[in-house]
Amino acid sequence: MGTRLQFITHRTLRPIQHFSTVIGWIKDEYLIVKIPMDQGAPIALREGDKITLRVFSGVNVCSFAAVVERVFGRPLLYAHVTFPVEIQGTNLRTAMRVKVDIPAHVKGEEFELSGFLVNLSVSGALLESKRQLPEEAQQVTVQFTLLTEPDKRQVMISTQAAIRNVNGAEGKFAYGLQFIDLDPAHYMMLQNLTYQALIADRQKIV
């Protein structure tokens, strides 16, 4: 119980993604889940609606189809959905990167520069900058901002990173960064970023 999961509705042409929590279940009968919120209000949900539920388990994504059986409105705001009959699993490669365009700031003991992260994963990132890092630089602090789901709250991520490779010439440089001791909460955010791209826009997967 308390497991965080993605709650996807299919009432429009394009599936709409929300987040929910498992409250409980009766095996082989139904799951009890919180009704997702959108801008402070519960989403519209009706008995008979078809949904997809997805949850992380380590580096695996498990998903299954379900049908809404009962809806309990305010003040309870939870629903009974059918118990999974078949669960599909997908492995998230640690090195799976997502194309992004996120401003980032990098600094060392005697230098700092700004640039953009052009791809990102739970293990590292590719940074592009017009400036060149000192040749002796081996480890840096990298800072950037991610938006949390589903409330779109900005979260500043600051972590140590090792410089694994350098490419480029005068005017444009690319640095492969490997994160060091990333905060577990930030790791989950990056997992969600990869997860979102995997299920919603595979063209973003590098």
How big is the chain, counted in residues? 206
| Cα 120–chain centre separation | 11
* pLDDT greater at residue 192 or residue 93: 192
User: What distance in Å separates the CA atoms of residue 139 and residue 177, rounded to the nearest whole number?
Assistant: 9
pLDDT tens-digit readout, 74-91: 999 999 999 999 998 876
Which one, of 54, 109, 45, 112, lies nearest residue 80 by Cα?
45
pLDDT interval class at 94 (50, 70, 90)? low
The per-residue pLDDT of the chain, averaged, comes to 87
Structure tokens at 89: 């699993």
pLDDT of residue 59 exceeding 80: no
pLDDT of residue 170 exceeding 80: no
Judge if the upstream peptide bond of residue 150 is cis by omega within 30 degrees of 0: yes
pLDDT of residue 163 exceeding 90: yes
12 burial class (0-12, 13-18, 19+ CB within 10 angstroms)?
exposed
